[in-house]
Amino acid sequence: MAWGGNGGPASGQEVLKLFEVKLKVPLGLNEADLVIPADNPLTPAKVALGRQLYFDTRLSANGTVACATCHSPRFGFTDGQPVSTGIKGQKGGRSAPSTINRAFSTLQFWDGRAASLEEQAKGPMVNPIEMGNPSHAAVVERLKQIVGYREAFQRVFGTGDFTIEHVAKAIAAYERTNLSGNAPLDRFRAGDNTALSEAAQRGLALFEGKARCVRCHTPGTFTDEQFHNLGVGMVKPQPDLGRYDITKQEQAKGAFKTPTLRDSALTAPYFHDGSAQTLEEVVEYYNKGGIQNPYLSPEPIPLQGDGAPEPHGAGESRSRGVLTVPDRGHCVCGLRPRAATVGDYRKRGPHPALV
């Protein structure tokens, strides 16, 4: 038994802090930027429980959908589909965003509607298209029928009478360990001049220079964690308004969170609607400056050779862009070396199911 500072048995929270561990951050990521709530410290047992829950289809109403169904290590914690498929084969309206390096972020989902990973973990469980549960209470009651889970929650949180908050904290703890770094690009920046090919080095120079990708895909996690309208899907009769549906701010219409470029070679298709099948298509879309609409963000500005913006009409690409065909090829080469190669999370899978 663990003992608290007053000489008596330790509370569940005190037990957690006794066994708190420091997350090992791979090369290329900044440990100071980690977001780990004070009320949800990482412990080995909690991470193991979260991993168990993450891959368990019993979190869904009919036992067919797990977190890993849409966020699979095999696809860089996405599902490789334009839009996600939930319970009873229902299709969602957006592509599954990668959960890689989410330990460095607060707002979650494409539209930022969840303020933390804990809140994000709870959302899909009661979404009628995703996991289809009528309530969080239904999820908890189902898990409480499983002896292994009652025992695991007792060990981790000091209570077998757990709530949805405990479930979400465990899942979030596991998700925070899914870090991607120590990629060829990181090793190149650390002084290994052999880590990147010549083509990839040219791509990196374009990424940080003429192509201006770095304006939104900032080093480290390669996302500024902000919301931008690139014109994706805005020509549809009823476009997805993204961040606007959360904030109701006019300038947020059609704006979506900048996705990480870590392991982007694994996470196709791209954009919030999965409309770009390849990295080549993504680069070409940005080279054209997106699609004109009243809420287009200022960041993807296409340039002519003289550096001046080109004229454009509503619903049209803003220009042919300044990047040449070789430039675009080098940009793609520069994107691929952002994949982790050490401690490869793609080898992760579910533990045997608890009974």
Residues 96-118 pLDDT 10s: 999 999 999 999 999 999 999 99
How high does pLDDT run on average in the chain?
Answer: 86
Q: Which residues are catalytic?
A: 130
Please name the amino acid found at residue 75. F
Query: Which pLDDT does position 211 carry in this prediction?
Result: 86
Q: CA-CA distance, 246 to 341, in Å (whole number)?
A: 37
- Provide the 3-class DSSP secondary structure of residue 270: strand
**Which pLDDT value is given to residue 260?**
95
What secondary structure letter does DSSP report for 311?
P
What's the pLDDT at 210?
86
**pLDDT given at position 187:** 95
Structure confidence by residue, pLDDT tens digits, 279-329? 999 999 988 889 999 999 987 766 444 334 444 444 444 444 567 777 777
d(CA 84, CA 96): 6
Look up residue 26 and give its DSSP letter: P
Instruction: Evaluate whether 339 touches 263 at the Cβ level (below 8 Å).
Output: yes
N-terminal to C-terminal alpha carbon distance within the chain: 25
CA distance 121 to 127: 11
Query: Could you give the domains of the chain?
Result: 14-179 (1.10.760.10), 184-338 (1.10.760.10)
pTM across the whole model: 0.87
| Secondary structure of residue 185 in the 3-state scheme | helix
Per-residue pLDDT of the chain (355 residues; tens, 9 = 90+): 333 333 333 444 444 454 577 888 999 999 999 999 999 999 999 999 999 999 999 999 999 999 999 999 999 999 999 999 999 999 999 999 999 999 999 999 999 999 999 999 999 999 999 999 999 999 999 999 999 999 999 999 999 999 999 999 999 999 999 999 999 999 999 999 999 999 999 999 989 988 889 999 999 999 999 999 999 999 999 999 999 999 999 999 999 999 999 999 999 999 999 999 999 999 999 888 899 999 999 877 664 443 344 444 444 444 445 677 777 776 777 677 666 543 454 555 555 555 4
In sequence order, the β-bridge partners of residue 78 are 72
Distances, alpha carbon 53 to alpha carbons 15, 56, 62, 263, 332, in Å: 21, 5, 15, 24, 36
CA angle 188, 191, 193 (to 5 degrees): 60
Q: Please tell me the number of Cα atoms within 13 Å of 221 on its side-chain side.
A: 24
What is the rounded CA–CA span in Å between residue 316 and residue 289? 10
